[in-house]
Structures are given as structure tokens and as C-alpha cells.
A and B are shown apart, each in its own frame.
Chain A
């Protein structure tokens, strides 16, 4: 009897401890804490009859017809359930913080994670019941993390990742030099050497300058674009905000040897010898310049591949199908360990690649959908987001826009015909894509950083003009980066 009582007591304690575990389970996957239930209470699955979900999408997707196709498909799928969606005009009441409280603005908003999370921080976007969504298992945690935010110590996700963005190298295959297979493929791997290392690309660009090549420039790019150029700083130890982009008090653009990366940006600006790249208007001109053969290659995000194709077709030299086949998008080249584009023989950077070069870390973003906190139809909006993030739509979005989906199953399917998607996933996995911090303070990065890059890229021209160079020595570049950090800190702290 005594043994029985002891056994019963032990069993009771074990059961009690199990139930205790359940109650105190840390927030995270499938957490159904009271707070979570309370926040998600509005998503009760009852579609708001007669609701019209207003969708604000990005302009490229609208321009290339994807958004209309998506909305049409959604309206068709839900025509018997009493809800429908409609597209909002670009930038129409897109400031949820000022317009939302007064009933204006979209119900569903597609944007980059940093912009969406700026609004999520102040609760203008709703946390979403991601664990109940079909796409949850298909999207890697690193992509979900771009939309994570805390409330009372619990993690919520305020966006559904849709596609991965990062810089890719674009070129037109038929613009390659005739002799590239004999002169520029010394490792015979079928990839031009100048697309493998920046040292080789620099050497090829120098050759283009001498004339006689198909294009006037080898590599031409906007050296003042923070999104793409920050990769040079990050590869050598720089970062934007500490603690994985969550600590705005730790600004790391001058950290490590980031000045070495800045030095290379300056080298490129000097090599290009084209002051157009000092202006952010260059990015929109780049589509035409690539099609016109002004340069062999440039860097941009995957979602603008259609813009390049459109420019190629506009020249009359390609049909759409030919342009699609001729335009190539590959991963960015490797950077020299020496952080000097002229220090090594370019051939050595190919034959001793692992020894002399490192892979470049690029800034990236996770674009996705968020739902406004001011929506009158949260369930209908969620139904739209579920529909738009489905496997079919992810594949269709890629077909229209060439973007790399955040869904693994869609990425697998597309990778079979478009290796770019696989490359992006691989780079994301290996930490070579540094996701843009998703905190409000990121807004203070762009203008000071662009101004610094303009200043840095202008420096090679100062000597030509008999002016004093401002970034001639490593110390001067370090000081410039420190000044940039201080400007960002001032903007964050002085006005906080």
C-alpha cells in the first residue's frame, strides 16, 4: 500500500512537472501562450463578407503585369467566399504611421523587410499567425528572422517572406570577348575568369579602357549605392548594427578592416573614370547601358532582370526570347584577400583562388507582405497573403519578375531552370548575404552613407583637378568611416 502511495505521488509529480513544462514553454514555434492567443484573436478565420482587400505592391511588379495577374487569380479563387482584392496606386497613403490611424492606407503591403519592420516596431503592422500558415514550413528561419519583433519578451512575426534580394552580377553573353575561352578562362571551368575574381575583372576593365573590346567598359556600376557597395565593407569586418542588426548603439561600418573595402570602392571609381557613376541616376540608366554595350557587366538585384530584358529588346538587336537567353545573372566575384585590386596578378587569383581571394558578403533583403494594424478585414487580408505566398504564386512571381522566392519548394522547382535562385539560397545559408537590419534606425543609414560614398568616389578626380585628396591614406579613409558612423549615430541619438 505504501509503495502504491509513493508510486501515485511520483506519477502525480511527473505529470505535474510535464504540465508545468507546457505552461512555461518558451515562446517560439507553435507557442500558444495567452499573449499570443490574445494578439492573434482577430484572425478567427471568419472572412469578412463583402471585404475588399487593398493591396499595395511594388512598382516593377505592377509595371510587368504580375500584380494584376495575382489579384485576378485571387478574385477568381475567392469569388464564392464574398471577398475580393484590389490594387492600390503606388505610394498611395503608404505611410501607415500618419495615414493609418485615420483609416487610409493598404490592408496588405509588399515591401522590403527593413521598411515593413520600421512600421511593425510601432505596431502599425500586425503580428501574423505564421505557425498556422501553409508557407511556414517552407520558409527558412533566417528569412522569418527578418520579420521578428518582440513584445513583452515574446517573439512575433510581422511579415511573410516572399523573396530574397541581393546583388547579382548581370552580363550579356554575346558581349563577352571573342577570345574569352582562350584568354580569360585559365582554369577551363567554363566561366570567364573576370567573373570569378574582382582582380581579374579589374584587369579586364583596364583592357577595355584601351579599346578594341566589344564594350567600352568592363565593369561599370554606381559606386555611391549603399546597398551594393556596403558589401565591400562587410567582407572585411564591417557591419551595420551589432547583435545581428538589432543594436543601433553599435554601428559597425568602421569596424574591422572595413576601410580596406572602402579603398577598393575608390579604386573602382578611379578605374571607371566616369563621373556618371557618382550619381544615383546611373542605376536607371544601367539597363540601357548594358544593352547598348557600354559596359560588359554591372550589379543589380534579381527583381530587375525584366528591366534589362526590356532594354535589350528595345535596341532591336534581340527578340524577347533571345534576350532572356542572352542575359545572364551570376553570383558576384570574389574579392582579394589583400584588399587591393591591383596587388596580385589576376591569373594568380584564379589559380590560387582560395589562398588569394575571399567570397564577398553582400547586403540583402527579404521582401514580403505585411498586414496593416488598421485593416478592417484582417481575415480577408490574411487569406490574400496566404494565396500570394503559395507555391504556385511564388513560381509565377519568378516567371514574371525573375525574383528568387523565399519558399524552399518553389526555389527547388525554379533552380532546375534558373540557377540564380539556388545561388541566392546557398549564399543566404552560408551567411554571405547580410540581411538588412529590420529596426527603425536603419532609416538613418542611407543618406549619410551615400554622401560618404560620393565623397570617397570623387576623390580620384580631386588630384586630376589639382585639389587636395581627402582619402589618400588609410587613416583618412578610416577617419571618413568614423565620421560616417558618427553622423548616423547623431541622427539616431540627437533627435531621439
Chain B
């Protein structure tokens, strides 16, 4: 690498060397006026940005502020959060500048080689033509890549940065934050937060697996049932799950919350029947599995119809000859289901199941609506109830209590778990390995 650079520097003609000093000058010397001016303008823009605010923003990223603002006395100061955002922005621009600088040098070198070979200097029109022809993949992808970088990668990087600060709790604007591993120490230690984190993580994984499986089994079951020719009025029956699907989820959740509340109809009828009222959702140890079960049921109520609709479509695509042949070979209905229907449906729905898993892992709404406002003091949960998922706990910590850094650290853990599970399941699935099998 080093040898290559040295060789390049020895070879580089003076115009290329000029481009290495000031972007675009080499191109201008080669007579590539438009391209040279574009590079020069970019160079000027970057330089102006970094001289006026960029360097300060970059330093601010590392210090997160040195002067605390006094709002009462009107003494201006730094805002750590703003400095973090602006610092990140300056890093992104710096990277962009480096990329542009390298392309500028490469471009000047390319032109120099063209001249060495006795070819004419490429005009700006030719460069544009290459951009929409030979290098079209770069032209087409550059905008989406920038979009993904700004709207996807930057927020994730921002969240990662927050997770490594002490921002939150007492440290909120105008107080200054610092880079710190304190959030990770709290999560990974065996203290209050660490203990609660492990308990919630265990339940969260159980919830995500169970709810995804339950929704799939129920959805497929309903689709198979309503697909049977001997079911009368299947179109009529199919309308009911669709209705449940069409009603906004939070309305259904609030309805179920009322039904299972202490003053709700279920407890009322239990009372009328001379039975004891049940603590379905109350903050009581006995309510733990009731509430979890109700959560699974409510989630299935909301999500099953979508699985049913999807699998109905998939089932209609299965070649009926397969079943006929299987019947002739003496396969029982169960064997036909296991060997034909299930693989076909699973193959087609794997990506959806992964997204369902991720959605369920981060299912904020169910327990927020069913059981907000309590913490399970009986089991030593820290600012969480025994039904909370990581996302609910994250909300309580970061929104209700302003513990941003711990919230960001938990977000990062959620992100890692869902990303690893989703990718590993998808890569191992038939849908990925045998993409053409069922086409």
C-alpha cells in the first residue's frame, strides 16, 4: 500500500499534484473547466464550513461542551446533545470530503494517464455520459446510499453515541454530559438494573417466540379451516377476523383492558356467578401469568387476521395435483399437511415471520395499554412490571425518567438481538437458500 502511494507520488505529474493540494485545480489545468469548478466549489464549501464551524463542531463532539449555560443570568453555554449531533454531522462531512478528495485525485490521475496514452482529455459531457452508462450503478446508487446514511445509519450511530455518554437522569440540558461507560456498567452489573434487565430479556424472548408461533399457527389454522370446501359461508366467517384487523389496534387493546379490569364485565359476571373476581391485570404476583396470557391473546387477536389473509393467498397457489398424488400414494391428511402445505407456507412466509418476530420483540403497545403505570414491587423489578418488554422498560427509563443513555444502551441490545436473530434465521431459511424452488 505504502509502496503504491510512493510510486504514485513519484509518477504524479504536476497537474495531479496540484489537485492533491487544491481539489479541482489539476482538472482546470487540464482544461476540464466545469469538472474543475465543481471540485473547486466543493473544496471551497468544505473549507468554509470547517473554518467557520466544522472544526469547532468536531472538537465539540469529543468534549461535549465545556461551558454550562446559565439560563437565569443569560450566560450562554454549550448544549451537549446539540454538540453531539453537530459533531456527528461534521464527521459525516469530513468523510464525504475525504471520499471526494480521493475521487478528485483519481480523476486527475486518470486524465494524466489518458494524456500519456495519447488520448484526448475527456470532456465534461463524456464524464456525464459515463455516469449514466458505464458507471450507472454508482450514479443510481449514490442517492439512495446518501439517503440510507442520513435516515438510517446516522440515527443508529447517534443512538450508539448516546449509549456511551452519561446523558439522562440528572445530566440533562443545561448540564453538560460526558463520554462514559456508566450505562453499560449499570446494565451489565448484577445490581438493580442488571437484575431487572435479565428478567425482562428472558420474558421478552419467550414473548417474541411464543407470540410469533401462536399468531402463525392460529392464522394458518383459520386459513385452512376457511379454505375447506365443506365450511358453509366461509366468506361470511372470513369477514370477522378482517374486522378485528381493520379496527385500530389500540382501540381493541383498550377494549380488552376494560374487559379484564377489576370493574370490567368479566369480573362482574364472575361476581354475579358467586365466584371470586380475578386479578387479571392488577399489580399482584397472581396477575403475572394472567396478564402475560392476556397479552398473548390480545396480540393474537390483532395479528392473526393478517397471517390468515396472507396464508389464504399462499394456500390458493399450491398445486392441487400434489395433494391428489399424495392421496393416491396413501398419505394421510396430517402427512399431506406436514409434507406439502407446511413447507410451502413456511417457505413463502419466512421473511414475514422474521418481521413478525422483530415486531413482537419490540411490541410496545400491548403491555403499554394493558398494564401501564405499575412496577412489580413484589419481585424487585426496577421501574418495570413483570409484563414489560425491553421496549416498555426502555420507554419508562428514557421517556418517563429521562435516562437517555441507559435507554440508548438497551436499544442497542434490542437492535443486536433482533438483527442477529433475523439475519441468522433468514440466511438459514429455505426462502434464502432455495430461492427458485417454488417459483
Show 21 residue pairs from A and B whose CB-CB distance is below 8 angstroms, ordered by the A residue: A39-B72, A123-B174, A124-B71, A151-B72, A156-B72, A275-B277, A276-B262, A279-B263, A448-B375, A450-B374, A452-B377, A455-B284, A455-B378, A458-B284, A461-B276, A483-B377, A491-B382, A494-B193, A495-B186, A495-B193, A496-B170
Is the pair A455, B377 in contact by a Cβ cutoff of 8 Å?
yes
A447 within 8 A of B: yes
A373 to chain B, nearest CB (A): 4
Query: Using a CB-CB cutoff of 8 Å, which residues 175-204 of chain A contact chain B?
Result: none
The residue in chain B whose Cβ has the minimal distance to the Cβ of A282 is B263
Is the pair B382, A484 in contact by a Cβ cutoff of 8 Å?
no
5 closest Cβ pairs, A-B complex? A123-B71, A275-B262, A454-B283, A373-B71, A276-B263
Is the pair B373, A450 in contact by a Cβ cutoff of 8 Å?
yes
A490 within 8 A of B: yes
B103 within 8 A of A: no
Partner of A122, one of B82, B168, B174: B174
Q: In the assembled complex, which residues on chain A have CB atoms less than 8 Å from the CB atom of B216?
A: none
Is the pair B71, A470 in contact by a Cβ cutoff of 8 Å?
no
A101-B173, A279-B262, A458-B279 known; A447 vs B74 contact (CB < 8 Å): no
Compute how far the CA of A389 lies from the CA of B279 in the bound complex, rounded to whole angstroms. Answer: 46
A142 within 8 A of B: no
The residue in chain B whose Cβ has the minimal distance to the Cβ of A151 is B72
B383 within 8 A of A: yes
A116 within 8 A of B: no
Q: In the assembled complex, which residues on chain B have CB atoms less than 8 Å from the CB atom of A42?
A: 74
A84 to chain B, nearest CB (A): 25
A126 within 8 A of B: yes
Compute how far the CA of A310 lies from the CA of B436 in the bound complex, rounded to whole angstroms. Answer: 68
Compute how far the CA of A487 lies from the CA of B381 in the bound complex, rounded to whole angstroms. Answer: 9
Compute how far the CA of A280 lies from the CA of B283 in the bound complex, rounded to whole angstroms. Answer: 11
Compute how far the CA of A444 lies from the CA of B169 in the bound complex, rounded to whole angstroms. Answer: 11
Q: In the assembled complex, which residues on chain B have CB atoms less than 8 Å from the CB atom of A458?
A: 279, 282-284
Is the pair A123, B263 in contact by a Cβ cutoff of 8 Å?
no
The residue in chain B whose Cβ has the minimal distance to the Cβ of A373 is B71
Is the pair B174, A454 in contact by a Cβ cutoff of 8 Å?
no
A34 to chain B, nearest CB (A): 11
B433 to chain A, nearest CB (A): 46
Is the pair A281, B261 in contact by a Cβ cutoff of 8 Å?
yes
A124 to chain B, nearest CB (A): 7
Q: In the assembled complex, which residues on chain B have CB atoms less than 8 Å from the CB atom of A451?
A: 283, 374-377
A275-B262, A454-B283 known; A447 vs B383 contact (CB < 8 Å): yes
Q: In the assembled complex, which residues on chain A have CB atoms less than 8 Å from the CB atom of B277?
A: 275, 461
The residue in chain A whose Cβ has the minimal distance to the Cβ of B374 is A451
B242 to chain A, nearest CB (A): 31
Query: Using a CB-CB cutoff of 8 Å, which residues 444-496 of chain A contact chain B?
Result: 444, 447-448, 450-452, 454-455, 458, 461, 464-465, 467, 470, 483-484, 487, 490-491, 494-496
Compute how far the CA of A123 lies from the CA of B378 in the bound complex, rounded to whole angstroms. Answer: 37
Is the pair A38, B377 in contact by a Cβ cutoff of 8 Å?
no
Is the pair B263, A281 in contact by a Cβ cutoff of 8 Å?
yes
Is the pair A494, B286 in contact by a Cβ cutoff of 8 Å?
no
A97 within 8 A of B: yes
The residue in chain B whose Cβ has the minimal distance to the Cβ of A120 is B72
Q: In the assembled complex, which residues on chain A have CB atoms less than 8 Å from the CB atom of B67?
A: none
The residue in chain B whose Cβ has the minimal distance to the Cβ of A443 is B401
Partner of A447, one of B284, B374, B406: B374
Please tell me the size bucket of the interface on B.
35 or more
A285 within 8 A of B: yes
B267 within 8 A of A: yes
Is the pair A447, B373 in contact by a Cβ cutoff of 8 Å?
yes
B192 within 8 A of A: yes
The residue in chain B whose Cβ has the minimal distance to the Cβ of A97 is B172
A105 to chain B, nearest CB (A): 13
Is the pair B286, A465 in contact by a Cβ cutoff of 8 Å?
yes
Is the pair B170, A454 in contact by a Cβ cutoff of 8 Å?
no
Compute how far the CA of A38 lies from the CA of B377 in the bound complex, rounded to whole angstroms. Answer: 47
Compute how far the CA of A494 lies from the CA of B284 in the bound complex, rounded to whole angstroms. Answer: 25
Q: In the assembled complex, which residues on chain A have CB atoms less than 8 Å from the CB atom of B284?
A: 454-455, 458
A404 within 8 A of B: no
The residue in chain A whose Cβ has the minimal distance to the Cβ of B403 is A495
Partner of B377, one of A122, A374, A448: A448
A280 to chain B, nearest CB (A): 7
Compute how far the CA of A443 lies from the CA of B168 in the bound complex, rounded to whole angstroms. Answer: 14
A124-B71, A275-B279, A373-B72 known; A285 vs B382 contact (CB < 8 Å): no
Q: Chain A CB within 10 Å — which of B276, B282, B382 has the most? A: B282
Q: Chain B CB within 10 Å — which of A101, A285, A483 has the most? A: A101
Compute how far the CA of A345 lies from the CA of B191 in the bound complex, rounded to whole angstroms. Answer: 49
Q: In the assembled complex, which residues on chain A have CB atoms less than 8 Å from the CB atom of B175?
A: 122
Please tell me the size bucket of the interface on A.
35 or more
B residues engaging A (CB < 8 A)?
70-74, 79, 82, 168-170, 172-175, 186, 191-193, 261-263, 267, 276-277, 279, 282-284, 286, 373-378, 382-383, 397, 401-403, 406
Q: In the assembled complex, which residues on chain A have CB atoms less than 8 Å from the CB atom of B73?
A: 38-39
Is the pair A467, B286 in contact by a Cβ cutoff of 8 Å?
yes
The residue in chain A whose Cβ has the minimal distance to the Cβ of B262 is A275
Q: In the assembled complex, which residues on chain A have CB atoms less than 8 Å from the CB atom of B377?
A: 448, 451-452, 455, 483-484, 487
Q: In the assembled complex, which residues on chain A have CB atoms less than 8 Å from the CB atom of B74?
A: 41-42
Query: Using a CB-CB cutoff of 8 Å, which residues 231-283 of chain A contact chain B?
Result: 275-276, 278-282
Partner of B191, one of A122, A444, A494: A494
A370 within 8 A of B: no
Q: In the assembled complex, which residues on chain A have CB atoms less than 8 Å from the CB atom of B172?
A: 97, 122
A336 within 8 A of B: no
Q: In the assembled complex, which residues on chain B have CB atoms less than 8 Å from the CB atom of A161?
A: none
Partner of B282, one of A151, A282, A454, A484: A454
Compute how far the CA of A39 lies from the CA of B70 in the bound complex, rounded to whole angstroms. Answer: 10
Q: In the assembled complex, which residues on chain B have CB atoms less than 8 Å from the CB atom of A159?
A: none
The residue in chain B whose Cβ has the minimal distance to the Cβ of A484 is B377
Compute how far the CA of A491 lies from the CA of B403 in the bound complex, rounded to whole angstroms. Answer: 11
Compute how far the CA of A428 lies from the CA of B82 in the bound complex, rounded to whole angstroms. Answer: 44
Is the pair B401, A495 in contact by a Cβ cutoff of 8 Å?
yes
A218 within 8 A of B: no
Known: A278-B279, A494-B191, A495-B169. 10 other contacts (CB 8 A): A122-B175, A151-B72, A281-B263, A450-B373, A451-B375, A465-B276, A465-B286, A495-B186, A495-B193, A495-B401
Compute how far the CA of A312 lies from the CA of B282 in the bound complex, rounded to whole angstroms. Answer: 30
Is the pair A97, B402 in contact by a Cβ cutoff of 8 Å?
yes
Is the pair A496, B169 in contact by a Cβ cutoff of 8 Å?
yes
Compute how far the CA of A483 lies from the CA of B261 in the bound complex, rounded to whole angstroms. Answer: 27
Q: In the assembled complex, which residues on chain B have CB atoms less than 8 Å from the CB atom of A440?
A: 170
A127 within 8 A of B: yes
Q: In the assembled complex, which residues on chain A have CB atoms less than 8 Å from the CB atom of B383?
A: 447, 491
Compute how far the CA of A483 lies from the CA of B262 in the bound complex, rounded to whole angstroms. Answer: 26
A413 to chain B, nearest CB (A): 36
A485 to chain B, nearest CB (A): 11
Is the pair B192, A490 in contact by a Cβ cutoff of 8 Å?
yes
Q: In the assembled complex, which residues on chain B have CB atoms less than 8 Å from the CB atom of A124?
A: 71
Q: In the assembled complex, which residues on chain B have CB atoms less than 8 Å from the CB atom of A467?
A: 286
Compute how far the CA of A467 lies from the CA of B174 in the bound complex, rounded to whole angstroms. Answer: 51
Is the pair A127, B72 in contact by a Cβ cutoff of 8 Å?
yes
Q: Chain A CB within 10 Å — which of B72, B193, B282, B375 has the most? A: B72
Compute how far the CA of A455 lies from the CA of B377 in the bound complex, rounded to whole angstroms. Answer: 8
Q: In the assembled complex, which residues on chain A have CB atoms less than 8 Å from the CB atom of B382?
A: 487, 490-491, 494
Query: Using a CB-CB cutoff of 8 Å, which residues 124-166 of chain A contact chain B?
Result: 124, 126-127, 151, 156
The residue in chain A whose Cβ has the minimal distance to the Cβ of B170 is A496
Compute how far the CA of A52 lies from the CA of B119 in the bound complex, rounded to whole angstroms. Answer: 70
Q: In the assembled complex, which residues on chain A have CB atoms less than 8 Å from the CB atom of B283?
A: 450-451, 454-455, 458
The residue in chain A whose Cβ has the minimal distance to the Cβ of B396 is A447
The residue in chain A whose Cβ has the minimal distance to the Cβ of B402 is A97
Is the pair A101, B401 in contact by a Cβ cutoff of 8 Å?
no
A375 to chain B, nearest CB (A): 11
